[in-house]
Amino acid sequence: MDKNTTIINTIKQTLPSVTLLENEPMKNHCSFRSGGPVGVLALPADEASLLSLCALLKENGITPYLLGNGTNVVFPDEGAENLFVLCTGAMQSVRLLPGGEISASAGLPLSRLAAFALEHSLTGLEFASGIPGSVGGGVLMNAGAYGGELKDVITSVRCLDLADGTIHTLPASACAFGYRQSRFQNGGNIILSANVLLAPGEKEQIAARMKELNQRRRDKQPLDLPSAGSAFRRPEGYFAAALIEECGLKGTSVGGAQVSEKHAGFIVNTGNATTEDLRRLLTLVHDEVLRQKQVSLQPEIILVRP
C-alpha cells in the first residue's frame, strides 16, 4: 500500500482531472454486486488525463487493472489492497468522422453507441443496444448477441501499450477477434477508443429491431437480479444454458449465488452473494456438466485474482 499512498498524493497534486476513490468496495462498480475494497480506483475524466496517469504509474512501476462498466468481471471478497484499478467510465466521447466511421471512447456504454448510430440512421449495431458493457470491455470480449459481434463492425482499435507507453492504431484484422476473444485479453494494452463502420439504414427499422431484441432480452434473461451476464462461454457444438438445464441445475444455489430459474446460462445474485459463492457455484456447475455430459464448460465471467 506504501506505493499506492505515494502515488495517490502525486496524482492529487498533479492530476486534478482524475477522480480517486481509496479503499473502494468493488461491489459498487460490478454488476454482480460482490467484491471487496481495492487500494485505489481511479477515474480519469478524459483520454488526456488517462495518458498522463498511465505515464505516472509507469514511472512508479504500477500496472493498473482496467475496468469498463464492470458487467463481466468480479473482484475477490477480501479485496486487493495493492490493486490500482483504472476505470474508463468517464471517457464517453463519440463522434461521426468525415469518412462515415464512428469513433467511440473506451468508456462509452455500448447502448449509447447504438443510440448514436440510430440517431444517424446507421445500421449494424442493433445487436449491441442491450449489452450493458462499455466499448473497451466490449472490444476486449468481442461482445455479441443475436448473430452480431463487435468484430463485424469494428474497423480499428486505438490502444496504449503499457510496456513502452506508445499508442497504436490496430486494424481489426490485427485484433485476433474470435468468439468472445481478442488479442487484448493477453493484457499489456489499454483500449482507448474504437472506430466502427456501419451502413446507411432506415431509422424506423433500426429502432424497431432494437426494440424487438431488447424485448427478447427482457423475456428471456433475469434482468431483475444482479448478474455478470452469461456465466459460461458457448462450448463448440452446444449451448451452455441447455446443458446446464438438462443436468437439472436450474435454481441450484451456493450461498446467495443461484443458477437463474429464468435462464440457466446466468448466475444471479439473489441478495447477499459473495464472489466465493459465485466461484463455488461455477465449479459445481462445471463439474456436474462434465460428469453428466462430458463437456468442460469454460467461464465467461472474469474472476480477478486477489
Give the nearest distance from C-beta 88 to ligand FAD in angstroms.
Answer: 5
Q: Which of 81, 302, 303, 306 binds ligand FAD (CB under 6 A)?
A: 302
Told to check if 141 binds ligand FAD by CB under 6 A, we report yes
Angle, vertex CA 32, rays to CA 254 and CA 238, nearest 5: 70
Question: Three cell numbers at 13?
Answer: 497534486
Residues 196-225 that bind ligand FAD (CB under 6 A): 221, 223
Name the minimum Å distance from CB 250 to ligand FAD: 17
Active-site residue numbers?
A: 180, 230, 300
Long-range contacts of range 99-104, CB-CB < 8 Å, 24 or more positions apart? Answer: 100/197, 101/155, 101/195, 101/196, 101/197, 102/195, 102/196, 102/197, 102/198, 103/193, 103/194, 103/195, 104/135, 104/193, 104/194, 104/195, 104/196
Identify which of residues 90 and 290 has a Cβ nearer to ligand FAD in the complex. 90
Q: Which of 190, 243, 257, 268 binds ligand FAD (CB under 6 A)?
A: 190
Q: Does 299 bind ligand FAD (CB under 6 A)?
A: no
Binding-residue pattern over the window 51 to 90 for ligand FAD, x denoting contact by CB under 6 A: --------------xxxxxxxxx--------------x--
Number of C-beta neighbours around residue 20 at 10 A: 15
Residue ranges in contact with ligand FAD by CB under 6 A = 31, 65-73, 88, 106, 131-134, 136-138, 140-141, 143-145, 184, 190-191, 221, 223, 227-229, 302
